């Protein structure tokens, strides 16, 4: 019999609905699992007291007995990314500035999870302010990869990805500005989806018109769970100008014909992206799965100059980060507590001129139009989800790839920029493992708004491969 904590969220939801499991049983199983495995990887932080969680689970059982289910996540343990404010639960953003911050109000994402019945058990670890694709910070420390505890779990949703892979949670939320859903999912052999920008709306706090680079999204060990969680998180926010209307539910429509779909393999973007040896062959082998299903996979040349994408990205990213963190930089006491990468982005953003920002946005507009023309020919574009395999956990970031120096803390993740820059949906699917057992993934990128077609490709791929069932061997016997 499958252990309770090894089941996915949909299976748990069905068992709770029929009474085959109780919410208390589910909560106890996950807390036991967390107690045995989390100390080695540090994926879940700010864990609530066991007694309080079991009492909340008992209340969820009582509600079910009265026929009062809140939704498909009723009674299911969830740990929310520590960039999300959660009422009554410490929310640090990985920063010593917020080390003791306990919000009084949920962010919109947290409110939607609670409304669906989830029980918040704690938070998942993230780098300070979500900057960088390695989850370490001075408040909670470093998150380690479940497949090799000496390696990074990626970031910024590294805690979420590691918790999923280690079976500490059945499903998780994440966010993605520069690969923060895709990179950790690839590093931890799970699924992570950056939806079309506006599909999962942000809170309407502060300036809401200018910055369109970051979005929340779902993570899971199955595409069906991924789609169900996206259905929960998505929906119109009338206070946010870029929020998309609520779409028809994705989860009921995952099964689809793949034969004849056209997929473009972009590889290393015509040599522009240095990629660690072994990654491209893994992705090419994974693409044969789509070949076997009758899809047409075609290698294509880069459709836009990589240096233009990078120029646009770095300007608009610094502009956005500087705007969101400037108040902390302006406070001398708080400035002393900012990580160097945050100071780099803030100070760079302050130096930008209006003309530089306009030029960067013009390049972004040109790429959006060029991408639209590519999608006239193809259903999906494919790139590796990362340019390196999981690297040593004591590093802050890789300084070089294939002897090519990285000139900034985020240059090693350049491969995620084509989707992020223009708000395209992108789905990481596991692609396999290195000879030393390190996971890797590839990103399926779709036309903006075509989230369902990506999920359908992902579902067919999952049914053919089911890579997440290759569990972390370091936890055997636990």
Q: In this structure, what CATH number is given to the domain that contains residue 234?
A: 3.90.1300.10
pLDDT value of position 71: 98
pLDDT value of position 327: 97
Overall average pLDDT of the 220-243 stretch: 98
Residue from 156, 196, 318, 322 carrying the catalytic annotation: 156
Contact present, 70 and 112 (Cβ < 8 Å): no
Whether the pLDDT of residue 477 is over 70: the answer is no
- Taking all residues of the chain, what is their mean pLDDT, rounded to a whole number? 98
Taking only the tens place, the pLDDT of each residue in 291-308 is 999 999 999 999 999 999
Band (106; pLDDT cuts 50, 70, 90) = very high
Show the tokens assigned to 224.
Answer: 């069906």
Overall average pLDDT of the 416-437 stretch: 99
Whether the pLDDT of residue 404 is over 60: the answer is yes
Q: What percent of the chain has pLDDT over 90?
A: 97
Band (474; pLDDT cuts 50, 70, 90) = confident
Band (478; pLDDT cuts 50, 70, 90) = low
| Separation between Cα atoms, residue 121 and residue 44, nearest integer Å | 9
Per the structure, the count of domains in the chain is 1
Domain that holds residue 98: 4-475
Overall average pLDDT of the 413-418 stretch: 99
pLDDT value of position 475: 76
Q: Is 20 left (phi over 0), alpha (psi -120 to 50) or beta?
A: alpha
Whether the pLDDT of residue 103 is over 90: the answer is yes
pTM over 0.85: yes
Overall average pLDDT of the 461-477 stretch: 90
Whether the pLDDT of residue 2 is over 90: the answer is no
Whether the pLDDT of residue 370 is over 60: the answer is yes
pLDDT value of position 476: 59
Based on the residue annotation, tell me whether 156 is a catalytic residue of this protein.
yes
| Separation between Cα atoms, residue 474 and residue 189, nearest integer Å | 14
pLDDT value of position 448: 98
Taking only the tens place, the pLDDT of each residue in 43-98 is 999 999 999 999 999 999 999 999 999 999 999 999 999 999 999 999 999 999 99
Whether the pLDDT of residue 141 is over 90: the answer is yes
Taking only the tens place, the pLDDT of each residue in 318-341 is 999 999 999 999 999 999 999 999
Residue from 91, 133, 135, 180 carrying the catalytic annotation: 180
Residue from 13, 22, 81, 123 carrying the catalytic annotation: 81
């Amino acid at each position: 019999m499958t252990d309770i904590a090894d089941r996915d969220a949909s299976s748990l939801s069905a068992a709770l609905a029929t009474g085959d499991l109780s919410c208390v049983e589910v909560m106890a199983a996950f807390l036991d699992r967390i107690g045995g495995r989390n100390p080695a990887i540090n994926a879940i932080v700010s864990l609530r007291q066991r007694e309080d969680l079991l009492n909340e689970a008992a209340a969820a059982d009582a509600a079910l007995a009265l026929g009062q289910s809140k939704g498909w996540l009723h009674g299911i343990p969830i740990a929310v990314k520590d960039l999300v404010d959660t009422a009554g639960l410490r929310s640090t953003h990985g920063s010593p500035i917020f080390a003791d911050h306990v919000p009084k109000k949920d962010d919109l994402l947290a409110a939607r999870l609670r409304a669906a019945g989830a029980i918040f058990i704690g938070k998942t670890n993230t780098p300070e302010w979500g900057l960088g694709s390695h989850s370490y910070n001075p408040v909670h420390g470093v998150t380690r990869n479940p497949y090799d505890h000496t390696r990074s779990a990626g970031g910024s949703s590294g805690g979420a990805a590691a918790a999923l892979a280690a079976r500490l949670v059945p499903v998780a939320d994440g966010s993605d500005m520069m690969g923060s859903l895709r990179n950790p999912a690839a590093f931890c052999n799970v699924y992570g989806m950056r939806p079309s920008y506006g599909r999962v709306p942000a809170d309407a706090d502060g300036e809401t018109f200018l910055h369109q680079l970051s979005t929340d999204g779902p993570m899971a060990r199955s595409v069906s769970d991924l789609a169900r969680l996206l259905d929960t998180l998505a929906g119109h926010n009338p206070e946010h100008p870029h929020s998309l209307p609520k779409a028809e539910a994705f989860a009921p429509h995952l099964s689809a014909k793949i034969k004849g779909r056209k997929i473009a393999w972009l590889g290393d973007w015509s040599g522009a992206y240095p990629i660690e040896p072994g990654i491209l062959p893994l992705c090419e082998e994974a693409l044969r799965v789509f070949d076997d299903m009758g899809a047409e996979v075609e290698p294509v040349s880069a459709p836009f100059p990589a240096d233009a994408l990078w120029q646009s990205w770095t300007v608009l990213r610094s502009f956005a980060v500087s705007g969101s963190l400037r108040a902390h930089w302006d406070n001398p006491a708080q400035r002393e507590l900012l990580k160097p990468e945050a100071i780099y982005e803030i100070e760079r953003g302050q130096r930008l001129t209006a003309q530089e920002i306009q030029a960067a946005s013009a390049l972004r507009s040109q790429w959006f139009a060029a991408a639209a023309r590519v999608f006239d020919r193809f259903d999906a574009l494919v790139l590796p989800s990362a340019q390196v395999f999981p690297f040593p956990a004591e590093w802050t970031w890789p300084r070089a790839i294939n002897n090519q120096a990285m000139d900034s803390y985020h240059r090693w993740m350049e491969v995620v920029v084509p989707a992020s820059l223009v708000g395209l949906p992108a789905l990481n699917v596991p692609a396999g493992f290195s000879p030393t057992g390190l996971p890797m993934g590839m990103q399926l990128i779709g036309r903006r708004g075509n989230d369902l077609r990506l999920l359908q490709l992902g579902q067919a791929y999952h049914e053919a491969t089911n890579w997440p069932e290759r569990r972390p061997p370091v936890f055997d016997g636990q």
